[in-house]
Amino acid sequence: MSKLIQRNVRALCLGALLATAPALSYADDVNSDAVKQLQMKLDQSLKMIDALANRVRELESKQTSVTSAATAPTASSAQSVPSADEVSRLQAVEQKVSQIEVANASHTSDDTGLPIHGFADVNIGNHNPFHPYEKGASLNNFDMYLTPKLGGKWLALFELDFEVDGEGSVGVDIERGQIGYQFSDAATLWVGRFHTPYGYVNTALHHGVWLNDALRRPSFLMFEDQGGVMPAHTVGALLSGGVRAGDGKVLYDAFVGNGQKLIGGILDMRVGGSDSGRAIYGGRAGYQWTSGFAEGLTLGASALDTHIDDDQNPQSMTEVRIGGVYGVYDTDNWEVLAEGYIFSNLDVTGSSGTHRSNAYFAQAGYRLPGLIPYVRYEHARLDQTDQYFAQMLNGGSYHRSAVGLRHDINPKIALKFEVAQTHYTDRVVGQFNEFLSQLAIRF
Q: Kindly state whether residues 93 and 129 are assigned to the same domain.
A: no
Residue of 134, 138, 133, 135 whose CA lies nearest to 123:
138
Q: Return the pLDDT at 384.
A: 96
Q: Return the pLDDT at 188.
A: 97
Q: Kindly state whether residues 341 and 251 are assigned to the same domain.
A: yes
Q: Return the pLDDT at 72.
A: 44
Q: What sign does the CA torsion over 236, 242, 248, 250 have?
A: negative
SS3 for 329? strand
Check: CB of residue 363 under 8 Å from CB of residue 221: no
Q: Kindly state whether residues 19 and 158 are assigned to the same domain.
A: no
Q: Kindly state whether residues 420 and 332 are assigned to the same domain.
A: yes
pTM as predicted = 0.74
Tell me how long the chain is.
443
Q: Kindly state whether residues 191 and 46 are assigned to the same domain.
A: no
Can you list the residues of the chain whose pLDDT is less than 70? Answer: 1-113
Q: What sign does the CA torsion over 386, 388, 393, 399 have?
A: negative
Instruction: Please list the residues that pair with 242 across neighbouring strands.
Output: 251
Q: Return the pLDDT at 88.
A: 53
Give start and end residues of each alpha helix (H) in 170-262.
Answer: 201-204
Q: Kindly state whether residues 165 and 298 are assigned to the same domain.
A: yes
- CATH code of the domain containing 408: 2.40.160.10
Q: Kindly state whether residues 173 and 40 are assigned to the same domain.
A: no
Per residue in 275-291, pLDDT tens?
A: 777 899 999 999 999 99
Q: Return the pLDDT at 315.
A: 87
DSSP state of 368: B
Check: CB of residue 370 under 8 Å from CB of residue 416: no
Per residue in 175-226, pLDDT tens?
A: 999 999 999 989 999 999 999 999 999 999 988 899 999 999 999 999 998 8
CA–CA separation, 53 vs 64, rounded Å?
Answer: 16
Q: Kindly state whether residues 162 and 103 are assigned to the same domain.
A: no
Strand 187-195 to strand 233-245: parallel, antiparallel, or no bridges (unpaired)?
antiparallel
Q: Kindly state whether residues 130 and 45 are assigned to the same domain.
A: no
112 — alpha (psi -120 to 50), left (phi > 0) or beta? alpha
What letter represents residue 206's amino acid?
H
Q: Kindly state whether residues 83 and 126 are assigned to the same domain.
A: no
Q: Kindly state whether residues 74 and 197 are assigned to the same domain.
A: no
Dump strand ranges (E) for 1-135: 116-125
Based on its alpha-carbon atoms, the radius of gyration of the chain, rounded to whole angstroms, reads 30
Domain termination site, one of 67, 89, 108: 108
Asked, as a colleague might, if the bond just before 82 is cis with ω within 30 of 0, I would say no
CA–CA separation, 415 vs 440, rounded Å?
Answer: 6
Q: Kindly state whether residues 348 and 426 are assigned to the same domain.
A: yes
Which domain range does residue 72 map to? 2-108
CA–CA separation, 124 vs 126, rounded Å?
Answer: 7
Check: CB of residue 356 under 8 Å from CB of residue 342: yes
- What is the domain count for the chain? 2
Domain termination site, one of 47, 76, 108: 108
Domain termination site, one of 92, 108, 124: 108
381 — alpha (psi -120 to 50), left (phi > 0) or beta? beta
